[in-house]
C-alpha cells in the first residue's frame, strides 16, 4: 500500500535517482536531457532551502532563548522599580497609581451586626 505522505528527503532522493537514471541512459533519451538539467537545478535549490530552513530554525530557537532571558531580567527590574517606588512614596500613597501600582488600602472594618429584634418569648416547658 503506498504511503500518502512523502518526506522532503525522500522526494529529493527520488528525484536524484531519476536524474542519475536519465543520465545513465542519455543516449537512448537525448530529448530529455534539457528537462533533466532543469531538474538538477531545482534539486540544488531545494537542498539550499532545506539548509536555510534548518539555519533559520536554529536562529529562531536562539532568539526565543534570548527573549526569555530578557523578559525574565525585565520582570526582575520591574519588580525592583515597583519596590523602590513603594519605598519612596510609601505603600499607601495614591501617587503609586501614576505608576500603575495599586496602593495598600486597608480593609474597611465591618460594623458589628446589630442584634435582631428579640423574638416573642416562647414559654418554656416546666
Tens of pLDDT, residue by residue over 26-78, are 999 999 999 999 999 999 999 999 999 999 999 999 999 999 999 999 999 99
Confidence band, pLDDT 50/70/90 cuts, at residue 6: confident
Backbone angles phi, psi at 115, to 5 degrees: -60, 140
Specify the residue for cell string 451586626.
113
Q: Are the beta carbons of 85 and 99 closer than 8 angstroms? A: yes
Confidence band, pLDDT 50/70/90 cuts, at residue 125: low
Specify the residue for cell string 525574565.
72
pLDDT > 90 fraction of the chain, expressed in percent and rounded: 78
The rounded distance, in Å, linking the Cα atoms of 69 and 110 is: 46
The rounded distance, in Å, linking the Cα atoms of 94 and 86 is: 10
As a whole number of Å, the CA-based R_g of the chain is 39
The rounded distance, in Å, linking the Cα atoms of 54 and 10 is: 17
Q: In this predicted structure, what is the pLDDT of residue 38?
A: 98
Confidence band, pLDDT 50/70/90 cuts, at residue 116: low
Amino acid at each position: 500500500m503506498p504511503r500518502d505522505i512523502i518526506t522532503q528527503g525522500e522526494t529529493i532522493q527520488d528525484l536524484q535517482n531519476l536524474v542519475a537514471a536519465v543520465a545513465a541512459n542519455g543516449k537512448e533519451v537525448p530529448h530529455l536531457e534539457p528537462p533533466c538539467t532543469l531538474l538538477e537545478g531545482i534539486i540544488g535549490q531545494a537542498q539550499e532551502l532545506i539548509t536555510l530552513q534548518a539555519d533559520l530554525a536554529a536562529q529562531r530557537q536562539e532568539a526565543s532563548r534570548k527573549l526569555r532571558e530578557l523578559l525574565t531580567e525585565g520582570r526582575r527590574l520591574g519588580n525592583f522599580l515597583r519596590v523602590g517606588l513603594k519605598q519612596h512614596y510609601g505603600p499607601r500613597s495614591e501617587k503609586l497609581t501614576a505608576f500603575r501600582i495599586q496602593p495598600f488600602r486597608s480593609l474597611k472594618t465591618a460594623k458589628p451586626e446589630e442584634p435582631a429584634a428579640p423574638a416573642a418569648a416562647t414559654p418554656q416547658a416546666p
